[in-house]
């Protein structure tokens, strides 16, 4: 699944990122949206708060990413001479006139260490990154600009988080596909869960539909689009990796179970956890559509997503990113929304999504097939 900007290039070097010091100096309006601006404000006040610096959509960082690792930005000759090492200049291409200074650390990873408006940058960058020790302070200005131990700790923490989110995303992906496959089949569907980061132990689920209410037919002839009918799904958990099972349940249960009937769980005679979920037929249509749509709709929302009145179809990659990161996604109909547990599992299906990707009627037919077998 996608997690935004990749941490590393194919040659093993990391993507450019800002130091904490320079991040504080960047203008708030230069960040892409209010979500990022809010997270940066919180991070500046409290560096222990989670922030995704690799994901920042900011002109100087975007310019730096367009160069590394295949080439390097223009070298700033005066600053490089003063720093006694290469200093590369990156630019705000959007016309705001900001410039930034990039250096690489001992591992070859690029860092944005200084930024200022165009005229101030060229007047002060050489002094700001000088490697000459000041008699007044006993240190060189460059030493105060380089990434600190705290910067590396923040980077390590973020990279561990990204690995964790990648793993959780794969868990969600497999469960989504498993639910769709179980709906298509007439018996239990096995789902192998990936091992947690740094752990060799794995786990698995079997997904089985235990019971269905018949799909409702409205006066307008519509069936599943507006159905409030429910299905009971059994998840049986196997294997020694409790962490993988916990991740599957923690991430997927709040998203799919009906608000009117909380999950029920017990342990069978073999010591395996068995969980029963009540899922609306409309939610099953959304999951079925997600399992068949490979790529998310691209772009950025022009307006803040509004409270939902319908369930919308989105790819499983987009659905996973929304569950994991709370990011807005664009449905097949074009509307932006955040498909999280706050959405409401009993909403009707968006008729525009259904017209463009007929799924609800297929789900209704599959449910009838289950009922005929039962």
- Output the pLDDT for position 220: 39
DSSP H helical ranges for the chain: 20-25, 34-45, 59-65, 77-83, 118-128, 149-184, 242-256, 281-292, 316-325, 351-356, 360-373
- Rounded to the nearest 5°, which phi and psi values hold at 111? -130, 135
- Output the pLDDT for position 127: 96
Whether the predicted pLDDT of 171 surpasses 80: yes
Model confidence over 134-149: pLDDT tens digits?
888 889 999 999 999 9
User: Binning pLDDT at 50, 70 and 90, where does residue 373 land?
Assistant: low
Model confidence over 221-274: pLDDT tens digits?
344 445 556 778 888 999 888 888 888 888 888 777 776 677 889 999 988 999
- Output the pLDDT for position 222: 43
User: Binning pLDDT at 50, 70 and 90, where does residue 210 land?
Assistant: confident
Model confidence over 73-93: pLDDT tens digits?
999 999 999 999 999 999 998
- Output the pLDDT for position 320: 87
Whether the predicted pLDDT of 337 surpasses 60: yes
- Output the pLDDT for position 329: 84
Whether the predicted pLDDT of 314 surpasses 50: yes
Average pLDDT, the chain: 84
Tell me what percent of the residues of the chain surpass a pLDDT of 70.
Answer: 85
Q: Do 73 and 93 meet the contact criterion of CB atoms below 8 Å apart?
A: no
Whether the predicted pLDDT of 302 surpasses 70: no
Q: What length is written for the chain? A: 374
Adjacent-strand bridge partners of 264:
276
Model confidence over 124-134: pLDDT tens digits?
999 999 999 98
Tokens of 291: 């399992």
How confident is the model over 29-42, as a mean pLDDT?
Answer: 88
- Output the pLDDT for position 12: 65
Tokens of 203: 């786990």
- Output the pLDDT for position 130: 97
How confident is the model over 299-321, as a mean pLDDT?
Answer: 75
- Rounded to the nearest 5°, which phi and psi values hold at 210? -90, -30
User: Binning pLDDT at 50, 70 and 90, where does residue 216 land?
Assistant: low
Model confidence over 1-20: pLDDT tens digits?
444 445 655 456 789 999 99
Whether the predicted pLDDT of 208 surpasses 50: yes
Whether the predicted pLDDT of 45 surpasses 80: yes
To 10 degrees, what angle do helices 281-292 and 360-373 make? 120
Q: Do 252 and 175 meet the contact criterion of CB atoms below 8 Å apart?
A: yes
Residue with the bigger pLDDT between 52 and 151: it is 151
- 353 vs 332: CA distance, rounded Å: 5
């Amino acid at each position: 699944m996608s997690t935004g900007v990749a941490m590393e290039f194919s040659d093993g070097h990391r993507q450019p990122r800002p130091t904490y010091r320079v991040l504080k100096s960047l203008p708030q309006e230069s960040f892409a949206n209010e979500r990022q601006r809010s997270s940066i404000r919180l991070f500046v006040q409290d560096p222990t708060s989670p922030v995704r610096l690799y994901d920042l959509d900011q002109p100087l960082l975007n310019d730096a990413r367009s160069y590394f690792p295949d080439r390097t930005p223009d070298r700033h000759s005066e600053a490089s001479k003063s720093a006694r090492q290469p200093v590369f200049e990156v630019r705000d291409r959007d016309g705001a006139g900001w410039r930034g200074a990039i250096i690489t650390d001992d591992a070859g990873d690029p860092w944005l260490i200084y930024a200022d408006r165009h005229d101030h940058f060229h007047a002060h960058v050489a002094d700001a990154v000088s490697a000459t020790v000041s008699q007044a302070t006993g240190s060189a200005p460059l030493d105060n600009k380089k990434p600190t131990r705290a910067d590396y700790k923040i980077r390590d923490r973020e990279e561990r988080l990204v690995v964790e989110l990648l793993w959780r995303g794969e868990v969600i992906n497999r469960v989504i596909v498993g639910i769709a496959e179980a709906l298509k089949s007439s018996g239990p569907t096995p789902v192998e869960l990936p091992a947690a980061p740094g752990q060799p132990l794995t786990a698995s689920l079997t997904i089985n539909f235990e019971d269905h209410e018949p799909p409702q037919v409205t006066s307008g002839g519509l069936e599943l689009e507006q159905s409030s009918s429910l299905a009971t799904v059994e998840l049986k958990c196997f294997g020694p990796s409790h962490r993988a099972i916990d991740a599957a349940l923690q991430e997927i249960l709040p998203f799919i179970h009906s608000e009117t009937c909380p999950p029920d769980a017990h342990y069978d005679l073999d010591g395996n956890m068995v969980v029963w979920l009540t899922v609306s037929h409309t939610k099953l249509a959304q999951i079925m559509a997600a399992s068949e749509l490979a790529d998310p709709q691209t772009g950025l929302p022009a307006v803040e997503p509004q409270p939902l009145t319908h369930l919308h179809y989105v790819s499983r990659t987009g659905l996973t990113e929304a569950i994991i990161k709370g990011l807005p996604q664009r449905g097949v109909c074009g509307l932006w929304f955040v498909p999280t547990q706050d959405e409401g599992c009993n909403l009707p299906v968006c008729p525009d999504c259904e017209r463009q990707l007929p799924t609800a009627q297929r789900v209704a037919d599959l449910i009838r097939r289950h009922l005929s077998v039962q």
